[in-house]
Amino acid sequence: MTDFQEARALLSGAELIHSARAVSAAVSRVAARITEKLGEQNPLLLCVMSGGVPFAGQLMMHLRFPLDFDYLHITRYGQETTGGALSWRSLPGMPVEGRSVLVVDDILDEGLTLAAIIERMRELGAAACHTAVAVDKLKGRQKPLAADFVALTVPDRFVFGYGMDVRGKWRNLPAIYAMKES
C-alpha cells in the first residue's frame, strides 16, 4: 500500500469528531474572547509550526486589533503518533522582551510542549504569556498548564485534521477526526 493509499484508508476509517462548520464557529467564539482580553495590548501572536498554521491563520482573520505575527517551531512528534523528546527548530525572529505574547497551537495534549514554550518565552523576557489552542484533549489527568483560550475539546484518542497530522498527512482537513480505536 502506498503512502497515499494508506492516508486515504486512515481517513475513510476515521470518526468525525468536529465538522468544519463546528471548527469555524469555535474559532469565531475564541477570537471574541481573545479580543476582549488582549485587544488593547498589541500582542505578539506566535504560531507554533506546523500544526498551529490553520488555527492561527483563521483566528487572525477574526481578531480586530493590531498585532504582530511571528512563529516558532518545536516538536515532540515528528512523523510518529506518540510524543518523544522536545526538539527546538526555530525561535521567534521578533523580540519578545517586554511583550504580551499569544502562543497559538493546534492541540493541548499532555501539555509538555506548550509548557516548554511558555518557559522559553518567559526566559526571553515576555511581559505576559497567553495560550490559545484549537483543541484541548480530555486526558483525565492533570496537565502542567491549562490553555487560556480553547476552541474545542476532543476525547483522549489520536486526532487529526485542522493542523494535526497522522503520519505526516491530513493537516489540511477543515474538520477534526479520530483514528479508529484498536
Cα of first residue to Cα of last residue in the chain, in angstroms, is 20
Q: What angle do CA 139, 143, 144 make, to 5 degrees?
A: 165
* 3 falls within a domain: no
* 128 falls within a domain: yes
120: domain CATH number?
Answer: 3.40.50.2020
148-160 pLDDT, tens digit each: 999 999 999 999 9
Q: What is the pLDDT of residue 101?
A: 98
Instruction: Write 34-38 long-range contacts (CB < 8 A, 24+).
Output: 34/59, 34/63, 34/102, 34/130, 34/132, 34/149, 35/62, 35/63, 35/64, 35/65, 37/130, 37/148, 38/65, 38/100, 38/102, 38/130
Whether residue 12 has pLDDT greater than 90: yes
Stated pTM of the model? 0.92
Whether residue 130 has pLDDT greater than 90: yes
Q: Give the range of the structural domain holding residue 139, as residue numbers without chain letter.
A: 17-157
* 162 falls within a domain: no
Number of domains in the chain: 1
Average pLDDT over residues 29-48: 97
* 133 falls within a domain: yes
62-92 pLDDT, tens digit each: 999 999 999 999 977 555 555 567 888 888 9
Whether residue 182 has pLDDT greater than 70: no
